[in-house]
Amino acid sequence: MDKRQTRQLALLVAANTALAPLAIDAYLPALPAMAEDLATTVHHTELSLSVFLLGFSLGQLIFGPLSDRIGRKPVLLSGIFVFLLASLAITQVESLEGLYALRFLQALGGGASVVNSSAIVRDCFSGREAAKVLSTVAVIMMLAPLIAPAIGSLLLGMAGWWLIFAFLAAYAAFLLVVLPLRLPETRRKREADEPPASLLQVARDYASVLRHGPAMGYALTQAMGFGGMFAFITASPYVYMQHFGVTAAWYPVLFGANILFMFTANRLNVRLLSRLSPPRLLRIGIGIQLSAAILLVSALALGLDLLYVIAPLLMVFVGANGMVAPNAISSALEYFPRISATANALIGSMQFASGAVIGMLIAGLAMDSLWPMILGMLGTALVSNILLRVLAGRRALARHETPPD
């Protein structure tokens, strides 16, 4: 595959993957307005984010293995179509329960689509090349959460929160036009003696991934990093707009600064991959997250509950995910070339389930305080550092330490 084809593939995969951050981040500035229209609290509307993450997690588990059996494009395009229909239905929702149900359905479609992104990259690349392409995809994809809150804030001011979900439906329609024409089918053809899809085989494939200690070390490290990030994302409307009194117009600026930090870490990661292995860079990334979380706890304990103290530390913590995610995913998928979509489905499901559970805990506590968010971030950072060393182990980490060509 030449450079032009690689860039085109990266753009298409990124456009598909952007469906998730757009669906997650675009409506964040509208949560207070949605709470008012649905006659509930901001904390209860925040739970719709956790419901979305649970649906996204389940969608990847179900449709990842299906993609390994019938192909990437049929599953991907079907998922986008379900996402489109659910987004349109949300524009008419009138109850909190209806919002939860439709966000779950929207997430199932999104999970079926996005689970194929990393699998498509793994179909075409391996090792450091896969990590580099995933990093490039991540850079393009970061534009989505960077601009999503700004788009949401603009649409909210123009016509109300319903227009945000109409925009998501329009983006899904755009993908349904472009991807069938430009995205190739990358899954290898099934051999004549290869067994057809079956629930038993899917269960065996998942079991083979779950039994693989080093791969689970990388996968759970990614899940914890993702969970820590969603501790912040779930609480961010309250933290910025209610606790610190930031307006809805300025919220996207502060939120976007976190994405810029992630972009910087990601670009640094791409450069360092020529000298350091993905697992080593992963260890650096989770070390940065742990340090930032400890400083956040210390600042709050010392009474330094100030925007100019807390916000930069949040940006460092969230930004480090630009180094954690591509290295953890590429390291884990390296072990499963035959069932990359199944492995990626399990990894993606674990990370979104982690975000959902942590988000539910924080939103469910309904505490007007920064402590739930910050303790959630500290807990995930501690667990990720421990799990990588215990499950991956020195031998597995050393497996990737061969010098680059």
Residue-wise pLDDT tens digits, 284-299: 999 999 999 999 999 9
Handedness of CA 215, 221, 225, 227 (dihedral sign): positive
Whether residue 213 is predicted with pLDDT greater than 50 in this model: the reply is yes
Q: Give the pLDDT mean for 158-184.
A: 94
DSSP string, 189-248: PPPTTSPPP-HHHHHHHHHHHHT-HHHHHHHHHHHHHHHHHHHHHHHHIIIIIIIS---T
Mean pLDDT, residues 318-327: 91
Per-residue confidence (pLDDT) for residue 96, from 0 to 100: 94
CA 12 to each of CA 39, 87, 260, 264, 345: distance values in angstroms, whole numbers, following the listed order: 40, 21, 22, 22, 19
Alpha carbon distance 110, 165 (integer Å): 14
**Picking from 143-147, 306-310, 325-329, which range would have the lowest pLDDT averaged per residue?**
143-147
100 token code pair? 């939860």
Highest mean pLDDT among 90-94, 120-124, 182-186, 194-198: 90-94
Contact 114, 17 (CB under 8 A): yes
**CATH number, domain 8-182+211-399:** 1.20.1250.20
CA–CA distance, 101 with 96 (Å, rounded to integer): 9
Mean pLDDT, residues 44-59 taken together: 92
Higher pLDDT, 405 or 124: 124
pLDDT at 298: 97
CA dist., res. 318 & res. 145, Å (int): 12
pLDDT at 192: 46
Tokens of 84: 């489109």
**Best CA proximity match to 266, nearest among 213, 325, 215, 315:** 325
Report d(CA 194, CA 135) in Å as an integer: 33
Q: Say if residue 317's pLDDT is above 50.
A: yes
> What pLDDT shows up at residue 395?
53
Q: Which residues contact 304 (CB under 8 A, 6 or more apart)?
A: 310
Percent of the chain with pLDDT over 90: 50
Range 299-318 average pLDDT: 95
Give dist(CA 354, CA 399) in Å, integer.
27
SS (H, E, C) 143-185: HHHHHHHHHHHHHHHHCCCHHHHHHHHHHHHHHHHHHHHHCCC
pLDDT of residue 160: 93
> Residue 196: pLDDT band by 50, 70, 90 thresholds?
low
State pTM to two decimals.
Answer: 0.79
- 403: tokens are 């010098």
Q: Mean pLDDT in the chain? A: 87
The residue among 311, 320, 343, 313 whose CA lies nearest residue 330 is: 343
